[in-house]
Structure 1
Amino acid sequence: MSNPTEPSATHHVFDGAVDAVEDLGNVVEGIVDDLVLDRIDALKVLRAGTKEQKSAVLEQIAGRGKPEQDIVSELSKLKPLWRPDRFEEAHRMAMHSLEVLDRNGARAAQLPPLGPLKPIAQYVVQQMTRWIVKGHQNTLVTRIRKLYERREANSEWGSPEHHMLRRARIDAARVEPGYKGNPLGLPTFLVGGAILSSVISGLRAFIDWAFNGGLVQGVVLASVGGLVFGFLAWAALYSAGVARHRIKLCTDQPVKALWETVGACGHPPKDGSYDFAVYAIILLALAWVLVPLAIWLVVAKLN
């Protein structure tokens, strides 16, 4: 016989259930406390009498993150140039790197053997590479010019830094229009004129032919769509790699040195190669989805 003074299995189960309920109660109580604290913080903002008090309460609620730390750090650096002795050299190197990128960044890339498709692939990759490189080039020269303008404005009038920034700003403003242009390198009438309308009309007629036909036409549509999306995905990914490599060779280091020489001005702008890589993945996913979907729609229509 069991000893009546020893706890039974039922007692252990009951004790465990009680502990679980207590833990759950503590969690709920913590959530309620957080909600009450949030409401109290909101009441503090509402009860604050002056704008200064409201601002102080809001700052206390929000806390201090990386942007706030950067603001304090940049405000504490009052010099318009962190390294004025290296600024002119860094400026010349940045301008030279932009020139080299403008001349070589959009040139035709070396492609793997693609047979008869190589001329088409060469053209598409070159246009996509040009889009990335020229877009980054336009952004970069504009950011440099704006940076010079703002540092010139907060430099002491007549100081050596003011003269250096003024000359650099004039240089950047002079060359900026020459670096800006059509990223695609195509005439405007090709992009928005009759040729584009003809291409869209042809695609619409092809889709109507496929959906109004039988299974063979549907398979043809799905196959062509899959090949087109797959080709565009490969071209976008390859172009992103080519553009990233050329931008890294030409401008990454000189522009980084310029930003460090100016000081307390954030980070240099990034190029769009990563975005193009994301677009390539999306196109590839569309190819995987649209091909089976088109075949299923045709089969469902026939049935």
Structure 2
Amino acid sequence: MNDEHEALIVTGDVDDPHAGVDEPLLFDRIDALRVLRASSNEEKGALLEEIGGSGKVEQEIVDQLSKVKPLWQPDEFPEAHRMAMRSLEVLDRNGSRNAKLPPMGPLKPIAQYIVQQLTRWIVKGYVNGLVTNLRKLYERREANSIWGSPAQVLLRRARINAEQVEQGFKGNPVGVPTFLLGGAILSTILSTIVSLISAALDTTLGVVIAGVVVVLLLGSLSWAALYAAAVARRRIRLTTDQPIQALYDTIGAAGDPPRDQSYNFAVIAIVLLVLAVVVIPPLAYLVYDNATS
């Protein structure tokens, strides 16, 4: 029996489970190299789609392409457009006004100014981006409308309105003159701060004082950013969230409306708070320890 088995091995008559099967080369198993080796653009595209798969975004692309009407609800579009413009006007007028703050004693005017500027930054940035987004959306839907159709006439009027008000809504998101932000005054202030920090780090007491000041400053900025984000989100929700969503619904297949930056500001506030509580005290201790050793 053993002799027969050895003979089969020598003669190659043993059944090979992989015999007759064309194994792909290693290069053919690597997706990136398969794309490079493709002979036509169609084959390359098919391979890329196979690699990328399909997800929510791809489903939304197909869904939006399947809805070919430039206006999904043309009868309701004029009213939705007017309400959206009205909500933008109200938000632009009231969004950056002073917010009600808790009792803070003599520090309240300073805190109120900082919160107002941060709130203005969020609201103005949102309004600027939203009105531009609407103007572009109207332009593109007008471009794929049948010329002279009721939808094209409605979109043309709305696009002209958006162009007219866009420049009026644009503005400096920070209520500080531009020459202060980029001129000699800002450079002087920054130079003074750097000089004070350098002088403080030369002494042990200065290091301690600088550490306490930085912690208090970061903690205060964290609170101001979080409070401003909450105020801006509330005002945007009260004014534009529902009208803009209704407008997008009447247009149809336009995706989601732009979002404001209040959530990002809240994240920044949390990061500043973590820096103030977790990072700065150990760092100040290390500087103090090196200075005394």
**1:159 counterpart = 2:168:** no
What residue in structure 1 maps to residue 275 of structure 2? 286
Write out per-residue CA displacement over residues 235-278 of structure 1, whole angstroms, 9 at most, x where no aligned residue: 00000000000000010000000001000011000000001001
Measured in 2, the distance between the counterparts of 1:247 and 1:38 equals: 54
Conserved 8 A contact 1:105-1:133: yes
**Contact 1:152 1:165 (C-alpha < 8 Å) held by counterparts:** yes
Contact residue 201 and residue 207 of structure 2 kept, 8 A: yes
> Does structure 1 conserve the Cα–Cα contact (< 8 Å) formed by 2:27 and 2:33?
no
Question: CA separation in 2, counterparts of 1:208 and 1:41?
Answer: 55
Q: Distance in 2 between matches of 1:43 and 1:92?
A: 54
Check conservation: 2:222, 2:269, Cα contact below 8 A. yes
Query: Which secondary structure does the structure 2 equivalent of 1:85 belong to?
Result: coil
Shift of the alpha carbon at 1:298? 2.2
Query: Structure 1's 90 and 298: CA in aligned 2 closer, same or farther, altered over 3 A?
Result: same
Q: Structure 1 runs of 4+ off > 4 angstroms?
A: 35-38, 40-44
Rounded Cα–Cα distance in structure 2 between residues aligned with 1:210 and 1:78:
67
Query: For residue 128 of structure 1, what is the aligned residue in structure 2?
Result: 118
Task: Report if the CA contact (8 A) 1:225-1:291 is conserved.
Answer: no
Matching residue's letter, 2:242: Q
Distance 1:243 1:37 in 2: 55
Q: Is the 8 A contact 1:222 1:292 kept in 2?
A: no
Question: Is 1:224 the equivalent of 2:193?
Answer: no
Query: What are structure 1's unaligned runs of at least 5 residues?
Result: 1-34
Corresponding position: 1:269 with 2:258: yes
Cα distance in 1, alignment partners of residues 104 and 218 from structure 2: 17
C-alpha separation in 2, matches of 1:42 and 1:183: 45
Corresponding position of 1:74: 64
Aligned counterpart, 2:138 = 148
Distance 1:134 1:38, change over 3 A: farther
TM (norm. structure 1) is 0.85
Q: What is the aligned partner in structure 1 of residue 8 from structure 2?
A: none
Q: Does the CA contact (< 8 Å) of 1:145 and 1:169 recur in 2?
A: yes
Moved more, 277-286 or 99-108: 277-286
1:178 alignment partner in structure 2: 168
Q: In structure 2, how many angstroms separate the alpha carbons of the residues matched to 1:138 and 1:41?
A: 43
* Matched letter for residue 235 of structure 2: R
What is the TM-score when the length of structure 2 is the normalising length?
Answer: 0.88
Deviation track 1:39-97 (CA, whole Å, cap 9, x = no partner) reads: 26456434533211221222223221111111111111110000001000000000000
Structure 2 vs 1, CA of residues 38 and 123 (structure 1 numbering), >3 Å: closer, same or farther? farther
Give the root-mean-square deviation of aligned CA atoms. 1.8
Q: What is residue 200 of structure 2 aligned with on the other side? A: 210
Q: Tell me the number of residue pairs that the alignment of Structure 1 and Structure 2 aligns.
A: 269
Whether the aligned pair in 1 keeps the contact of 2:28 and 2:34 (CA below 8 Å) is no
CA contact (8 A) 1:127 1:184 kept: yes
